[in-house]
Structure 1
Amino acid sequence: MGKTASKLSKDDISTLKKATYFDKRELQQWYKGFLRDCPSGQLSKVEFIKIYKQFFPFGDPTEFATYVFNAFDTNKSGTIEFKEFIIALSITSRGNVSEKLEWSFNLYDLDQDGHISFEEMLKVVQSIYKMIGPMVELNDDEKTPERRCEKIFKMMDKNHDAMISLAEFRDINRVDPSIIDALQLYKDLV
């Protein structure tokens, strides 16, 4: 998939059908749209941030878009290729709860060490607050990114080691169903 072709090859379609929840027709439509927006076959971080800015005009989505970009860019090439894009979109839009939780965990685990530290979560939550801007009224226990992170850590960090493991992160769906609702971000998109 390194080359840019106007259509996906049979091998690419077969591979992507196994790796995603999209059928052949959907894959071809997404690929056509991806190439229309990214004729080089690669989405740069700058372009990715521009897309986020269209959806969040009242805040600054730059930092959060960068974190999401890094989660999409699984091969760490500095660009998002179609395969990376469509697999991430499949998980975030149609994946099961477990897949969405693992993807979200990887988004927050900025250093990819298998744990989310308070500092990592705080960076991501601060970026979300910057992105949404003043448009959302928050509960008192979530008025600041620090309060939100403290609340999350109280719920998730069961062994009190100041880190959240993937297992602890997955358990949150039993504790706080609103987390699962938040993971439904792209469900109506596709």
Structure 2
Amino acid sequence: MGSYSSNLDDILEEDMHHWYTKFMRESPSGLITLFELKTMLDMNGMTEEANGYVDQVFYTFDMDGDGYLDFVEYIAAISLLLKGEVNQKLKWYFKLFDQDGNGKIDKDELETIFKAIQDITRSYEIPPETIVTLIYEKIDVKGEGELTLEEFISGAREHPDIMDMLTRMMDLTQVLEIIVKALHYVNLPAVCHHCSGTAIHIHLNHAVC
């Protein structure tokens, strides 16, 4: 997995048009579905919250809503997550947290997302409810138990410790690495080890002669 971290850095350092041209030349379709993403993430046995989180990530990245992630959407996502201006990142976080789309995030929504992230990353250092309590104690100045986009952004910017916690919790590098790995292999020619020829089809990194 470490080699794909360098791939992410390379993507950001190189010209986007060059990377897009190169990718489309090697993988003309370059699409991945939600089912394929979950397969790559090995979602078997994951909690309902974790599955819901991956759904939310996928549909947030799927900017045109066609049911596929393409390379342009992938590039936009990693550019936002790894290089984006603070307000852009916070707007993206808010969109991901706001599961019912009502323009506000409550404690249950935030806790559900954090539980799902911990389930996927297998990191359980701080209980999600503790994180949520800390966030709302500091930035829910009205004490309403929910935050608007404006309250969320201003609160996170005013409290560097909250911003740092959100950044670490929302580090989707692992998910993005899996996406780019999947995109690299979907529909690429593969060599069959049984016949030493080129496979005529590849799906989720399995060649069929």
Superposition TM-score, scaled by structure 2 size = 0.61
In the superposition, relative to structure 1, how do residues 39 and 110 fare at CA in structure 2: closer, same or farther (>3 Å)? Answer: farther
Query: Of 75, 78, 94, which residue of structure 1 is paired with 2:67?
Result: 78
Q: Which amino acid aligns with 2:91?
A: E
Deviation at 1:124, TM superposition (A): 0.6
Counterpart Cα distance in 2 of 1:173 and 1:79: 33
Which structure 2 residue ranges, 5 or more long, are not aligned? 1-10, 178-209
Pick the aligned partner of 1:153 from 132, 136, 156. 136
- SS of 1:79's equivalent? coil
Q: For residue 43 of structure 1, give the secondary structure of its aligned residue in structure 2.
A: coil
Q: Secondary structure at the match of 1:150?
A: helix
Partners of 1:35 and 1:121 lie apart in 2 by: 40
Q: Which runs of structure 2 are paired with 1:37-186 in the superposition (5 Å)?
A: 39-53=28-42, 62-133=51-122, 136=123, 138=125, 142-143=126-127, 145-170=128-153, 171-175=155-159, 176=161, 177-179=163-165, 181-182=167-168, 186=173
Q: Hey, what does 1:28 align to over in structure 2?
A: 18
Q: Which has the higher contact order (CA 8 A, sep 6+)?
A: 2
Q: What number of residue pairs does the alignment pair up? A: 158
Identity %: 24
- Aligned-partner residue type, residue 26 of structure 1: M
What is the SS of the residue equivalent to 2:15?
helix
- TM-score, normalising length from structure 1? 0.66
SS class of match (2:63)? coil
CA RMSD of aligned residues (A): 3.3
Asked which structure has the greater CA Rg, the reply is 2
Per the TM alignment, residue 102 of structure 1 is displaced from its structure 2 partner at its CA by 0.9
